[in-house]
Amino acid sequence: MIVRLEARFEGDATMPASAIGVGRDTMRHFIRNFDTTNGYVISQIPIPMEKDVAIPPCLRCGHFAKGIQEVHLFITARGGKTLIHRDPFANIHCVFNGTKDWITVENKYHDYLYQSDSSNREFGGFSTVDVDQVDLYEHPNIAKVEFARVTLNGGDCIYMPGSYWHQVRVNGEYNTAVSIWFTRSIKAIPRDWSDCQSKFDFTPMSDVDVLWRFSGGNDSIPQGSMDVHVLRVVLLTYNNENDIIDIDAFCYKRFPICFCGWMDLKHVLCNIVSHCNGDYL
């Protein structure tokens, strides 16, 4: 069973490697060598592990049950840290063992966080501020930022809205957690809470609809895939007076460079809309 690896300290350009390749390892090898590996597991849950990961009751009905995107596994050894960043999806992050210290920042301080240039076109992104050595000459406005601190222990979960700024430090010799990502858009899925009157138990991930899954094989390991619910909302803004979506106009405006050679993409977009929201094409 294969899992995805990243450097133990986010921002470190060194990609951890193993006998099977760069940025990946077998679960067996990582568990046996976690204390000497300069990396950590951040990987979608492999399908064979899905039965061991529970989806909390709050995501089992209504809008939320239809919008689960990805479920990520985190296994960290000897501590770790992230940059100040924001994730593209809303998520619930649950710690199994060890502790994690979170710093959260309200979005009203967005302009003081020195977001990287590459993040300006994304729902997610990261700050260029060094979290260990803040340079007030280079980043003077960071002094205006107010933040909250939260410590998660084993058994604790935190809800993080999509695109909400935060920074995380991982403590302890061995730390495991799961993060459940779900769609950020409340407009993308019809809001029907009628099935939320029932009592829900924790349910294995294997019994729940999840948009993007990972086989656990030594092939492409997906991470941060497209939220097709948001894409559908954008597509529907191209409805004309006959309630027909002009796919060509959408693709020409959104993907002008590759407009001439993208018939496969057009076919995929048509399937997304017709599958998710009726026959609009």
All structural domains of the chain: 2-225 (2.60.120.650), 226-281 (no CATH)
Tell me how far apart the alpha carbons of residues 139 and 136 are, in angstroms, rounded to a whole number: 5
With vertex at residue 212, the alpha carbon angle to CA 124 and CA 53, rounded to the nearest 5 degrees, is 100
pTM across the whole model: 0.82
Grouping H, G, I as helix, E, B as strand and the rest as coil, residue 267 is helix
Burial readout 216-238 (b: 16 or more C-beta within 10 A, e: otherwise): beeeebeebeebbbbbbbebbeb
Contact, 138 vs 64, CB < 8 A?
no
Please, what sign has the CA dihedral across residues 129, 131, 135, 139? Answer: positive
**Distance, CA of 218 to chain centre:** 21
pLDDT per residue of the chain (281 residues) written in tens, 0 to 9: 899 888 877 766 677 878 888 888 899 988 888 877 778 888 999 999 999 999 998 888 887 888 899 999 999 877 788 899 998 888 999 999 999 999 999 999 999 999 888 776 667 788 999 998 999 999 999 999 999 999 999 999 999 998 899 999 998 888 999 999 988 766 667 677 778 877 778 889 999 999 889 988 877 777 777 777 777 777 777 777 777 777 677 766 665 544 444 455 556 556 555 544 443 34
